[in-house]
Amino acid sequence: MFKLQTSAVAFLAAALFCLSACATLPPPATTPSVRGEAMAAAADPRAVDAALEMLRAGGGAVDAAIAAELVLGLVEPQSSGIGGGGFLLFYDAASERISGYDGRERAPAGARPDMFLDANGEPMDFYDAQVSGLSIGTPLLVAMLKLAHDDHGRLPWARLFEPAIRLADNGFELSPMVAAYLRMSENEIRLRQDPAARAYLYDVQGAPLPAGSLIRNPAYAATLRAIAAQGPRALSEGPIADSMVAAAQRGPRAGTLNLKDLRAVTPLRFEPLCLPYRVYRVCTAAPPSSANATLAILGLYERARPQPVGAGNGDDWAAFLWASRLAYADRDHYMADSEFVPTPTRELIAPAYLDERARQIDLRRAPARVTPGMPAGRALFERWGSAYSEDLGTTHLSIVDGWGNAVSLTATIESAFGAQRMASGFFLNNELTDFSFRPTINGRPVANAVAPRKRPRSSMSPTIVTDEAGELVLVIGSPGGSDIIGYVARATIGILDWDLPVQDALGLGNATGRFEVVEAEPDRWPAGVAATLAARGWQIGPTEGQSGLHAIRVTPSGLEGAADPRGEGSVGRLAAGE
């Protein structure tokens, strides 16, 4: 597909031009009058329905994405919502340019580097940190969506809220996945401690509601009506803002989030980070996302497997795992909020550095030990201690509209049900637990340590792939905490290199090659792959993580979409002119 023969030099020049120009150009003045085929893929069929409703009404990809996310915040509240944040990429078909939008939460002004240490100076229990006011950052999802809508929306802002308001008012069935989350002991014990969450998701005896229960959320509907009328201001002043602050400052483990914090931060436009990959260009989010590691995996894999064979080939899987180990080692050591610390974001995916790192790859054996590289010199390498972090409660949706524009949106509230504190009908995030709990490691500061107004490192990797000429090829992304990086890279390789149908590529077994023991789904691999890797010294273990990949591919015969079979997502299609 799209196997163009443009020279590598011309392609690299185009990619470098994109880095300086893709982010801020306005939408084109004219568009085709006849809409072509459109598609939406998201984690719940009701969100897909909302997206299609906007597309039928003449809306574009951004309109559809906003309507879908507002529904997702209602029907899968464990994953994302208006109390959290996200990253969005927009592809403009007329200009063939990509814009980036950053809605990552920020720490309050009162945040401290040692705020997640106990009295003994040790990291507190993760669940205690999560279910607290300390973990709550300033929500920026709605403000980010409004910024994207101002730039690229076609329908009135208020129109986008109608599907979610109807569901919240009239009621919706609790899905099996949400019901399963409610039954998890780590959620059930703590979630019921919040009065609003208990009243909303548990019966009068305190038992979690079963799948199929019809629930309503009038408070969420009221919040959406306020945002529809007032825009993001409804979340930074007035009764909704007051309720967020009250929830954050409530004990135990009260946080410092206040009204001044809510008013002090804004979303950002950013230049997408792009990498030439074979005959494609792959673009994703910039810091504080560490999605450059997704690009690094692809770049290293390309060097190790210039002519890949396919999903059943042991060398291809070994190359992917090696690339993952190397990319994650660099990610954990260097990546953080680039406004606060120097991050070698582009140096980590520079061709010469990828060439250097790829020389370590030996497909005949697993690595004994992998250390971070030095893409920007020894001084920066020795400045930091490496730190691990997660962001588990996340969703992803992919949209292509009838004009050929596209959105890749990954949104999150961090862990399941975020901080497990509700305000005005929605859950607040626990994004600050994405910071390193330890501000120093082995006597060195950690790049991703907590600081006032700082954004925690993220793994969200909304991704858009074009061909060398700038034509749209693929829209993809996933939830899954730090595993997102590997999920998106593996699925992209499956589609572009192994030539799998999109549904097969998403359903293929994941493998997070971050640590010595690979967390994997070998039962989803082709026969013989696991044995081949084991014979080369790879230790394969089970995974507790789960992807939620949603992707749309542009093919000569039309759009090909898929939803991750591990979840409850779906794909919806509109025919040309519909």
Structure tokens at 137: 């950052």
Distance CA 267, CA 258 (A): 18
Catalytic residue among 256, 294, 345, 394: 394
Is residue 397 within 8 Å of residue 550, measured between CB atoms? yes
Is it the case that residue 503 has pLDDT exceeding 80? yes
> What is the pLDDT confidence band of residue 3, given thresholds at 50, 70 and 90?
very low
pLDDT digits (tens, 9 = 90+) for 56-109: 999 999 999 999 999 999 999 999 999 999 999 999 999 999 999 999 999 999
Distances (CA, A) of 379 to 112, 330, 375: 26, 15, 11
Distances (CA, A) of 528 to 246, 315, 321, 518, 525: 56, 12, 16, 17, 8
Asked whether the CA dihedral 299, 303, 307, 313 is positive or negative, the reply is negative
- Strand stretches in 122-217, DSSP E: 172-173, 214-215
Residues 365-379 have a mean pLDDT of 83
SS3 515: coil
Distance CA 207, CA 217 (A): 18
Mark 373-397 as b/e (b = at least 16 C-beta within 10 Å): bbbbeeebbeebbbbebbbbbbbbb
Asked whether the bond before 210 is cis by omega within 30 degrees of 0, the reply is: no
SS3 388: coil
Distance CA 562, CA 538 (A): 30
Task: Please state whether beta strands 463-467 and 550-555 pair in parallel, antiparallel, or not at all (unpaired).
Answer: unpaired
Is residue 295 within 8 Å of residue 466, measured between CB atoms? no
Is it the case that residue 24 has pLDDT exceeding 50? no
270 secondary structure, DSSP code:
E
Residues 441-454 have a mean pLDDT of 92
Is it the case that residue 331 has pLDDT exceeding 50? yes
- pLDDT given for residue 379 in this prediction: 67
Residues 21-36 have a mean pLDDT of 50
Percent of the chain with pLDDT over 90: 84
- pLDDT given for residue 184 in this prediction: 87
Is residue 64 within 8 Å of residue 410, measured between CB atoms? no
pLDDT digits (tens, 9 = 90+) for 413-447: 999 999 999 999 999 999 999 999 999 988 888 89
pLDDT digits (tens, 9 = 90+) for 211-253: 999 999 999 999 999 999 999 999 999 999 999 999 999 999 9
Q: What is the pTM of this model?
A: 0.93
190-336-282-544 Cα dihedral, nearest 10 degrees: -30
Distance CA 144, CA 263 (A): 14
What's the length of the chain? 578
Q: Is 394 a catalytic residue?
A: yes
What's 440-458 look like in SS3? EECCEECCCECCCCCCCCE
**Architecture in CATH of 34-93+101-171+216-578:** 4-Layer Sandwich (3.60)
Largest CA distance in the chain: 68
Lowest-pLDDT range, 24-28, 243-247, 469-473? 24-28
Domain ranges of the chain: 34-93+101-171+216-578
- pLDDT given for residue 381 in this prediction: 65
- Specify the residue for token string 């229960």: 213
Is it the case that residue 351 has pLDDT exceeding 80? yes
Is it the case that residue 295 has pLDDT exceeding 90? yes
